[in-house]
Amino acid sequence: MTETKLSVNINKIATLRNSRGGNVPNVVQVAIDCERFGAQGITVHPRPDERHITKQDVYDLKAVVTTEFNIEGFPDQRYLDLVSEIRPAQATLVPDPPNVLTSDAGWDTKKHLDFLQETISGLKAQGIRTSIFVDTDLYNIEYAAKTGVDRIELYTGPFAENYSQNPEAAVDAYVKAAVMAHGLGLGINAGHDLSLENLRFFKEQIPHLAEVSIGHAIISDALYLGLENTIQRYLWLLREV
């Protein structure tokens, strides 16, 4: 089985800070603590309205993150300029319009093939690993490979929504997508609503799972369990058994 890394999305920390102003909680300190507690990556998604992670946060985090820094976003010029300056380990491209609440759909990789090819080529030329957000439609997986991207990130919202009713049925399309993606030479990431309840099952079923990006569930669980304990629990679920 592939070792699966945990990247902690700290957007929610910034949301809480911004709701009051000032610098409490401290986004940079939380990122440092997440790494100290065992997280193998830090993820942020700086949106145009800066409603959570700000541009300054990204610069501040670049100075302290020692694991893999992953910057998500819609690849407009604002995002591409920021990524070019920061040079994170990974750039994850999402098809979000500016006002969307959270990433809830993957790319139509055939429709946007030329745009994605050009964008990904530019990022890879800078030494940045690339990933694109996709659903489990095998057609989108096929065309994802044509973009030249290094990895895909499977949008796991539908899996999480249906997990409690029928876990095997909920994960089936993801298994098929992962098998196809691996066969096409793509690395496999996953994210959205993965939790303490469903993560172990997902990890056990999905072959070649390189990384999961989890934010909302981790920060919510930390309110009850503490951040260190929460991260340790998620890491335990990802360990090979």
pLDDT at res. 241: 55
Peptide bond into 95 cis (omega under 30): no
pLDDT at res. 100: 57
Catalytic residue among 35, 52, 153, 192: 192
- Bridge partners of 132, per DSSP, are 93, 152
Q: Confirm if 94 and 192 have CB atoms less than 8 A apart.
A: no
Range of the domain at 93: 5-236
* 241: in domain: no
Q: Confirm if 172 and 206 have CB atoms less than 8 A apart.
A: no
Is 208 an active-site residue? no
**Residues with pLDDT less than 50, the chain:** none
* 121: in domain: yes
| CA–CA distance, 121 with 148 (Å, rounded to integer) | 7
CB atoms closer than 10 angstroms to residue 113: 15
- Bridge partners of 23, per DSSP, are none
* 46: in domain: yes
* 132: in domain: yes
| CA–CA distance, 149 with 146 (Å, rounded to integer) | 8
Catalytic residue among 35, 52, 72, 211: 72
pLDDT at res. 206: 98
Per-residue pLDDT tens over the stretch 19-77: 999 999 999 999 999 999 999 999 999 999 999 999 999 999 999 999 999 999 999 99
pLDDT at res. 1: 54
Catalytic residue among 35, 45, 52, 211: 45
* 21: in domain: yes
Tokens 């920021």 map to which residue? 82
Count structural domains, the chain. Answer: 1
pLDDT at res. 86: 98
Tokens 């893999």 map to which residue? 68
pLDDT at res. 153: 98
pLDDT at res. 96: 74
Is 112 an active-site residue? no
CATH number at 142 reads 3.20.20.70
* 163: in domain: yes
Rounded-to-5 percentages of helix, strand, coil across the chain:
45, 15, 35
